[in-house]
Amino acid sequence: MEKSELSPPPYSSGESSIPTIPIPVLDQPRTIPVQMAPPAYAQTVFVPVHAAPVTAVGFPVPAICPRCNQSVTTRVEYESGALTWILVGALAFVGCIFGCCLIPFCIDSCKDAVHSCPNCQHYFGKYRRL
What mean pLDDT do residues 99-125 have?
Answer: 93
What mean pLDDT do residues 9-18 have?
Answer: 57
* Range with the poorest average pLDDT among 39-43, 82-86, 96-100, 116-120: 39-43
pTM: 0.56
Q: Which of 102, 78, 82, 83 is nearest to 92 (CA)?
A: 102
Query: Between the CA of residue 69 and those of 34, 50, 84, what are the distances in Å?
Result: 43, 9, 34
For residue 86, give the DSSP letter.
H
pLDDT in tens, 42-58: 455 444 445 455 446 78
**Residues forming beta bridges with residue 116, ordered by sequence position:** 75, 123
SS3 content of the chain, % helix, strand, coil (to 5): 25, 15, 60
Give the number of residues written for the chain: 130
**Residue 86 in contact with residue 129, Cβ under 8 Å?**
no
